[in-house]
Each structure stands twice: as C-alpha cells, then as structure tokens.
Structure 1
Amino acid sequence: MTTENHAEQQARAQVASVCAMVAALECDWDRLEELRDDCAEVLELRGECLRLRQAQCQEGASKGVTDALVAFELEHGDRLRELEDEMSSEVEELAELEEAAGDYDDREDAERAIDEDPLSVEVRSGWGSPGDSLDPEEYRIVLCTGGPHVELVGDLDHHGEPCSVRVQYRDWGTSGELFDFDHEAVLTYCRQHGLGSY
C-alpha cells in the first residue's frame, strides 16, 4: 500500500503556480499585443468579406452587393492576404505567448500576483559580535502553511539578492525537499520580492 505525500503534492502545485507567474512576467507583452491586434484585424476583415458574400448569395448577386464586394476587395484584399500570410507563420508564436501570459492581463498584473502571492518574506543574518552591523545572509518565502507548509529558502549574495533556492515542505510527520523543479524560474520569483532592500 502506498500513501500519498500531500505535502510534496502541495509543494509541486506551489512551484507550478510560481513558474506560471514567472512565465507571465517574462512574456513579451508587446509582441503578444501586436499579434492579437493582427489577429483581430484578420477576423474583422474576414467577417466583413463573409457578410458581403452572404448578402451576394441571398440577394442573387445584385449590382449593389457585387459592387460593395469588389470595392472591399480593392480596398482591403491585399491587406487581408498579407495579414493571413503573416498569421499563418505566427500562429505557433501567438499560441506560445498566450500560454505564457496565462490568465494575466499584462506584465504589471503578473508583478502584482507575484507580490501578493507569499504569506511572508523574511531574511536573517549569521552570527556576529554584539554591536556588529549584520547583513542578511539567508531568506525564506512562505507560500502556504497550516498543513502542508511550503517555503522557498536560500542564500543571499553580497548585494542581498537571492543566489540559490530550495523548495522545502512539511506536513504532519513528513518533511522533504523538491529537487526536480525549474530553479531559474523559482529564483526569478524570489528576486521579485526586493530582498536586497532589507
């Protein structure tokens, strides 16, 4: 009989959430907006062309509708074909950017989510003599607690920025550490919390 390790599952879920926020943070929002605008323009032009063609079919190719369709083709046909050609090669890029953006509206939205995500952000110093000025050497970011508990811990460099990260988890009677996760993404998340300002 195998028992599920709920603390490890929670740690993996927290790391997945952190990685999604970082993907949105690092998303090329300008390019995404450009591709979205191109796609919207294609849909608008296609819709107008389709509306005119349907009207032509319904009205038995009346001169007014046919003239409108010809005028549309003359005015917008080249642009529509150009956009369709571009979009056919950019569909994959758009899908990747949409996936990276996730549920976030823009970079600021992702930054806000990262800022509001942890329960606590803490630093601590090493040993020193009384009266010494102590600089923070380690950090801890608590993601959830109460069972299971998940936190990110690591060392700070001489600028007070995170230079390492570990994912630790605990639950009633179990504790552990994740090793197989996207260290760079989680470290980027940790660096967003202004630890160098402590």
Structure 2
Amino acid sequence: MQRAGLGIAVLIGLTTPALAENERAVSVGLGWATFSVPGKPVGNMAPPTLSPDVGGTLSLTYERAVGSDLMLRASLAGGVFYGGHDEDEEQTATSYAALGDVGIVFRFDVLKYVPYAFGGIGAVASGGGPIDQGLDFVLALGGGLDVLSSRSRSYGIEAKLASFGGDITVFTLGVRGTVRWGYF
C-alpha cells in the first residue's frame, strides 16, 4: 500500500508543471556595437574589411519560459555607428542597423548568478555609410550573465553575434536590466 502511495506521489510530481513555466521577462539593454562588411576590392587584392570607429545599441527582449531552464526569446536591437566610411566615395560617416531575431534561451543554473546562452534566426536591416545593404537574414548567437537582485528583477551583461551568408556581421556587448513576472 505504501509503495502504491509513493508511486502515485511520484507520478503527480512528474506531471505538475515546473515553477518556471509561464515565467515571462522583459529586458532593456544598452551597449557597444560594431559591424564588419567587405569593402571594395582594389586591383587583384581581396576587399578590405570595413568597421566603424564607434557604435552604440539599444535593445528590447521578451522571454517566456517553457520549462525550468528553457525559454522562448524575441529580441529587437537598433544600432548607430560612426566611421568606417569611404571618403573617396563621399559616403556619410553615420550608419545604422536594426536587428530582430527569435529563438531559444538555455539557462545553465537558477541561483543568484545565472549564465545563459541563446540562439535564433532573424534579419538585419542596415543603411547609411558603408553598410547601406538593405535586408540580410542572420543567425544570432550569444550569451550572458544575469545577477538576480530579487525574484522579479535582475541585471547583467550580454553579448550577441549576428551573421550568416550575407555581407554584414553585427556584434553587440552591453548591460541589461530585466523584469520578470508569472513565475508561480
């Protein structure tokens, strides 16, 4: 009889949702950004790589837990860059890029310090200066570290690399603040 009761308790425990399911989070980030695009070939030489002198980004991310360690993620980021232009072609020195991606996040631990990795697919729209490319589809990979200040708030750092078969690669590194709800 005790074994049957124990078996039923284990079965109920396995079928109940994890506490993190339905947890939702919104993050706002601010950071440094750069891009890399091929320049114009000179003679028989390979084209040089163009990058900006300075760049910044603002991002917004929404996450929804589907388990204790796995979340769905949607992210938007906008970047403004200065430099990397070709003065001979009278390009503007200011350029911009907007990055949007959707994917998954895996959290490695749920303690005060929470490292995480993510991957997704999306697109980069770019314009101005040397990156007046239009729209490129990208794979976005990255990770970060969240520091939980309470159950509903955290802050941390995040890095993201977005690139694929197109000509543009975008890298961002920044800080973010997060608000969570729906974890019970």
TM-score range, shorter chain: under 0.3
Question: Which has the larger share of strand?
Answer: 2
So what's the TM-score if we normalise by structure 2?
A: 0.26
The higher-RCO structure (CA 8 Å, 6+ apart) is 1
Question: Which has the larger share of helix?
Answer: 1
- Bigger Rg, structure 1 or 2: 1
